[in-house]
Every structure is written in structure tokens, then in C-alpha cells.
Structure 1
Amino acid sequence: MKVKLLFTVVLIILLIGCDSNSETGAAKSKDYYVLNEEFQEIGNILGSQDIVILGESTHWSADITEKKVELINYLAEEHGFNKLFLETGDSEFNYYKNKGLDMKEGVAEQYHQSIFNDYLTGDHENIKALPMDWAPVFTTNRASHISLLEENITEEISLYSKDLAEEFKKSEFALRDWFSKGLFLNQHVGNLERPRDVYEEIRNETFFSELPQASQDYIESRHENIKNYYSKINFDNALVEYYDYREIGMADKVLAQMEDDDKAIVWVANGHSNYDVTKIDNTHEVFKVERKDERTESLGALLRDSEHDVYNIGLYYNEADTYKLLPEHYETPRKTDDDTLEGYIGNRVQEDVFIDFETSGFLEEKLYTAFVIGAYDYKMVPQEQYDGLIYLDHLLE
């Protein structure tokens, strides 16, 4: 009788223990976390990382920007993230920042929204914005646009050498013209032709040290970016080399600006953050023309392979009424097919959520069709490309 009673007690204890472990496991393996309601839980997952990559499937949604900024501000305040890397050229960014000029001329257009002002000016109390790109910044991608930066530096150089001032101006236009034709117009314009290395000539002049510091820094930055990245690209090969050297350059610049105890958020398009681009099938015709399937490098993989702990988040949305940052009216109909990433999630949850792949089995691990700007399709297995996902159900703008 005593033995039977003892067995019953032990069995009850074991059952209680199993039940307790089950509850604990359930808490650790939650399907998803609702954005804005469960920031603390999301922060517990992301807070220990050195770098959080925060992707997006379009640059042109004000709603996406707002959601990301809310998460960034929380991570900065509660978990000590102090650097925000933006997908914008460092040469222009640093010039406008150091001169105290309007930062809108010095950053890519997606960052012109007023919500970025405190980051760009350095007025945010917890986190500051930094550039991580080498690609040139020019208004509406018009090569003919002459910026305040170019006007200022040309005038400063002309005080010492009219010839070099004119050559500087020609070189700046030639770079923009070559870049815009190769990237935006898909023209086979080969390598960047430079009959003279005017940046090196100016750096070697005795008057160089007399130029304002921001102008010296710009000339040096542009010169180094040409040597390290622009000169490696041949647009006769479509965008193959451009894509790879964008990734290499952005990784170089993020890692060069990371110091001891820094915690960074990297704001980029999903296409830069993918861990293994060789496993992505770029099915849309635009991607075929660009020969995107031939790329081998990615910012996400390069950061993951660094000394830092990295968590990589892809961000996708299902439908959009319009895109506030695009001049034309454009909408994305709702995806309902389970073979699409957006449709699979949207058929099961109609909220804005964060999914952690390590602890959640909510998203079936299989090949999905996913979209850029809701329309440009490609295929991938999300778990091969990211550590987690943010899904936004419906964008108003």
C-alpha cells in the first residue's frame, strides 16, 4: 500500500513537472509577437545582439518607416543600441553633416521624411545615424543636378586652380552620368572612364590642406570609393559587379565604424540582408535583365561572418493602398496564395507581427514566392535567409 501511494505521489510530481516544462516551452516557442504590444518580448530576443539588420521589401512606404522607427527607438532606449546605419552614400552624408547643412541633400531620398530628422542631425538622445554606402547621392537620380556641395567645392578649388576646379566638376558629372545610365537605365556603359584622376591631383596639391576640412574629407572619400568600389564595376556585365561591390562596400563601412561596446541597427532593403543569395531564384524579368542570379555577395552574410553577433530580420507586407513616397498612385493587391510568403502568413494572422525562427514553428520551412514593392517576384526559403521576420498585414501608405 505504501509502495502504491509512493508511486502515485512520484507520478503526480512527474506530471506536474512535465506540465510545467510544457508551459515554459510554449512561452519560449511562441508562434509570433504582435508589434507595438510585445516590444519587451521582442527586445529580449534582439537585445543581446551587437548588430540587428532590419530589412524592408520597399523603401517607399511611410507606414513601414514608422513601424521600424518605433522598434528602433525602443531598442535604443531599453537595450543600448547607439548606431543606426543607413543605406546612403558616406561622401555626401559626411559633407552635409560636417558643414551643418540641410541633410536632405546629403542622403538618399527614402530618408527625406521628417521622422528621420533627429537621427540625421544627431539630436536623438540615444542613437545616431551613420552612412554605410558608397553609391552617389543626387536629386531624383538626375546626373545633371548640381548640388550645393559641388558648387561649394568647385568654387573653393577655383581660388587656387581654375583648371582643377573645372576638372573636378567634370569628374563629378561623369561619375553620376555613368552610374545613372548603368544602374537606372540598364545601359552597357562599361567601366568608369577617367582620363585624369583629378581627386588624386587635388590631394597632391599644396593648397589641398587650405581647403575647408569638410571639402578635404569629401575629396578623399570620393577618391577612395572610386578606387575600392566604382572602379571594380563594368556595366557591360549588367548589374552583377554592382550588386556584389555594393554588399562588400556596405559591410566594410559598417564594420569600420563599429567600436567596442557599440550596438548597431542596419537599415537596408531585404535584398542586401539575405544570408545566401546563391539560393534565391530571381524569377521576375527585371531581375533576369539585371542578371541578379549571378551575384554572390551579401551584406547579411558578410556581417554574420564578422566578429559580431548578428540577428537578421526580413520585413514583408501583404497589401498596400498606396506608397506615400512615390509620385504616382500605386497599390499592391492582397496576396492570398499559400505559395507566397505574404499570403501564407496573411491567411493565418491579420496583424503586424514578429516571428523568431529559432523558437517558432509558425512559418512552414519551404520555398515561397516573395515580392519586392509587392510586384517583383523571387523565390526563397525564409529560414535560409534570415533569423526572423516582421510581417505587416496592410499598409495605408
Structure 2
Amino acid sequence: MFSSLRQSPLLFLTHLSVLVLVIVWTIPTAGLLISSLRQPDQIATSGWWTALSASEQNNTFTTPPADTASQAEDGFALSGNVFGKDGSGSVSAFGSSFMKPRAFDAGETAKLRSGGTLTVAQNGDYRMTFDKKPEGGRGERIFYTSVEPPAFTLRNYQEVLRAEGIGQSFINSLTVAIPSTAIPILIAAYAAYALAWMRFPGRLLLVAVVVGLLVVPLQMSLIPLLRLYNGIGGFFGVPAQTYVGVWLAHTAFGLPLAIYLLRNYIAGLPREIMESARVDGASDFDIFRKIILPLSFPALASFAIFQFLWTWNDLLVALVFLGTGNDKLVLTARLVNLLGSRGNNWEILTASAFITIIVPLIVFFALQRFLVRGLLAGSVKGG
């Protein structure tokens, strides 16, 4: 009883910490999604948390030339609607000077510097009156504040997928990430089984080498690896800056973690299963294919999540091995370019960013039930 009482505060703090982390990661993701679906003018004037409520926007409307005013009972008049023929909205305030764009409430009458008067109704109808026929071909500018209802659109995604090259970069990222995840898993699974259950000279030394390779920084070994790849590729006539180079680089950097994680997990599987299979005449390949692989799925899924997220979000390796050609840019590189060319277009940036994170989210939620099981088993078991 006392032990459960002592554990309850720790359990409460653990649940609270998890809840805080979920909120910290969920709120920016939700804001990114909502912003990517909003109209550009609403993104520029209000935050995403106001997306479901009406927002105020400052606009400018230029009337037709004043000399087109027609004869009226009170002199000469010019009328229309600031929202246009097909427009709709609600005006809350207006003004005739950019210094005071909200000087008058809708329905009030303002005096113009040219001598006339201006009235703007709540529905956007405006009326300008003059005592005498105005001269000159310039129109008057009306500054007004409109109340816009919430509006959502998929036009932002259509633009970035077609005009901004995000669609091609999306395919490029898939071309990099899928093989760069599958190849290390395939190689590491065989190596992990051999290091865990096959006895041969130098096995423990190889395990130590794998552990040592975990601390090798990517930035230090990237350039030597690129020179080695270009040298071998030039000898065999393989062109530089191809997807093969990216796959091999990600395989080299991902194998140590994959082998370490899978080897610890496989070494912790019951020995009796393997011994019974050997008694029945199963070979190492049969044991690996029919027993080890099905039982090791949690560990395989755990590494697949980490490797896919790493390769999908990678920028440095892709730039080094693929270059900066427009047809080979991955999503991360494309976003960097958009920040320079479309940095003020928040609707473009938010839509592009959400396209970048949607695939990792799908992969994580599809495999997350195996993540903790595979990591815990691989961290506490060994042989």
C-alpha cells in the first residue's frame, strides 16, 4: 500500500510530462495545417487560432474618375460598392486618408478634401456627392475595414504542387527515403542474426566495431565518403550525383544503429526455439526467415521509423550526393529555396511544410505501437 502511494506522485508526473510533450508537438502541427488551408489575406491579418471566427481586414478601393459623377438632386453623385459587383462583405469602418483609415463608422458621412462628401454603408455601398461637376480624371481612394467570414481553400496546395515544384520534390524524397530505409534493414537483419547466434572467430570484435561506429559524426566522414564514391564510380563509369550514392551513404550511416538494435533484440529471443528448429533439421537461413524475422518485427519497425524520419528530413546528404539541380531537389532543399523566393507568402510556406511532415506522421502513427516495445527489448536484452 505504502509503495503504491510512493509511486503515485511519480506516475502522475510521468503522465503530466507526456501530456505536456503531446501538447507542445500537437499545437504547432495543428496551426500549420489550419494556416495552410486559409486564404492568403486572412493569414496575413490574423493568427491561425482565429480561423473559425470572423476577422477584420484593412482594404483600399479606388472609385471611378470623379468627373464621371452623374447629376442628382443634391448635386452630382458617384456610387458603387467597394466589394465589386459580385463581392460580399461587411464594412465596420472607413476613411478617406491612409493616415486615418478607420476615422468613420459605417453609415457615417465624411468630408473629402476635394470638397465633396463620402458615405459607406455596412454592406459596402458607397456614395460620393459634390456641389458642382468635378473636374479631373482621377478617382478617390476609399480606405475601409471589412469583417470577413472564415474561409478555407485547397488552392494553396494546388499552387505548391503544380507551380512551385513541391510535387516533383515529394517524389524525389520518396525515391531517397524508401530504399535508404529498406536496404539497411535488409543488411542489418542478416548481420544481427549472425552476430547474435552464429559462432565464428572475431564475432565480439565485430560487435565492438559496430558500437564504435555509432559515435562517428556524419559531417566528419561525409566528404571522404563522397570522394571514395566518386573515385569508384569514375572507375566503373557510374555518373556522379545519382540516387545510388544517396542510398549507399544513408545505408553506411544507418547500419551501425540497425545492427546494434537488432542484434540486442535477436540475442534476447528464447534459445530453445532455435535449438528445436536445428533438431528438426532447419538451416540458419530457415531459422532466420521463418522464426527470427516474424519475432523481430517490433525491432525492425522501430529502426524503420528512425531511419525513414532521418532520410526523409535529410538535407546535407541529399545536397552533397544529388546536387542542387531543380529536378533532383528533395523537399527539405525545396523549402529552403522557397524561404528565399516566397518568404512573404505564408500560404505557400505553410502548405509546403505540411506536405513535408504528412508522410512522417503517417509512418509514425502506423508503426508507433511497435516503437516502445522494440526499443525497450533491444535496450535491456543482450547475449
Instruction: Return the structure number with greater helix share.
Output: 2
Report the TM range for the smaller structure's normalisation. under 0.3
Q: TM-score, normalization: structure 2?
A: 0.24
Higher relative contact order (CA 8 A, sep 6+): 1
Higher radius of gyration, 1 or 2:
2
Q: TM-score, normalization: structure 1?
A: 0.23
